[in-house]
Structure 1
C-alpha cells in the first residue's frame, strides 16, 4: 500500500509540474543558454537584444526583438519584424507556430514558468531564456 501511495503521489507531482501557464510567456526575456543536438552548450552572459513576448488572446501573440537602453527604455529598428504566433496544445505539449512574411516554424515549449522559458525547435536546438530585468543608470 505504501508503494501505491508513493507512486500516486509522484504521478500527481509530475502531472502538476507539466501544467504550463501560457500567461507566463508575457514579458521581456533574454537568452541564457543554447544547447545544440550534440550536447554542446553556449552560455550568454550578456545580451544586446532581448525578446518581448505578448499574448494578444488565449491562443495568439507576437514576439519582437528589442534593444534595452540604460535608462530603462527600449529601441527597435524599422527592420525588425514582429513574429506572430499561434499556441496549440498537441499530444500533451504546447507548441508555438510562428509566422512572418519570410518564414514559418514551430517551437515546442519544454519549460515555462515565471523564472524560465525553454523551447526546442525542429533542429533539436534547445533555447533557455530567463526574465529580463532592466538595468537603470541615471
Structure 2
C-alpha cells in the first residue's frame, strides 16, 4: 500500500466539520482565559489613567491625556474607587465621594461590584497587570487604563 500523503481512518469527519470544531475550541479557550487570575488582583490597588474606550460596535475613543485619575483602594477583596484630579505639585484634588466596591469571582470571571446611591452594578475585569487595567461595563463597553505616572516639575536639564 502506497502512502498518499492524506490521513485516512474509518469514520473520518468532513474537512469543514473539523475546521468548525477547531474554531469553536479556540473560541472557548479564548473566552475561558479572561486574562485575570486571583494572583493578579493585588495590581488593582493604586492610581489608573484612562487611555481608551472600546464600544461594542467596534468604535474606539482614545484619551492621550485625561484630567482625572481613578484611584482604587483595596483591603482584601473590598475597597473603594475614587476620582482624583492631579495637581502639578504631586498632590490630588478630590471630593469626599468614594464608591464602595467588592471583588467577586463568578463562573471563572472576576467582577467589581459597586454599591452606590444610583444602585448596584458590576464591571468585569478583562485585563489586569502591573501597568494595565481593562474593565467591561454591563453594556459591553471596555475601558482601558494604564498605571498613572505622577506629574513632575522637572525642567529639561533634569532639575526641579
Per the normalisation by structure 2, the TM-score is 0.71
1:23 CA displacement: 0.7
Cα separation, 2, equivalents of 1:68 and 1:128: 19
Match of 1:96 in 2: 112
- Show structure 1 runs of 5+ residues with no match: 1-10
Match of 1:45 in 2: 64
The structure 1 segments of at least 4 consecutive aligned residues displaced by more than 6 Å after TM superposition are: none
Cα separation, 1, equivalents of 2:60 and 2:130: 23
Corresponding position: 1:24 with 2:43: yes
State how 1:59-78 maps to structure 2 within 5 Å. 59-78=77-96
Q: CA RMSD in A?
A: 1.7
1:100 CA displacement: 1.2
Per the normalisation by structure 1, the TM-score is 0.82
1:25 CA displacement: 0.3
Cα separation, 1, equivalents of 2:36 and 2:46: 21
Asked if 2 retains the 8 angstrom alpha-carbon contact of 1:68 and 1:75, the reply is yes
**CA deviation profile, 1:26-53 (whole Å, cap 9, x unmatched):** 0100001000110100000111110110
Corresponding pairs, count: 122
- Show structure 2 runs of 5+ residues with no match: 1-28, 154-159
Larger radius of gyration: 2
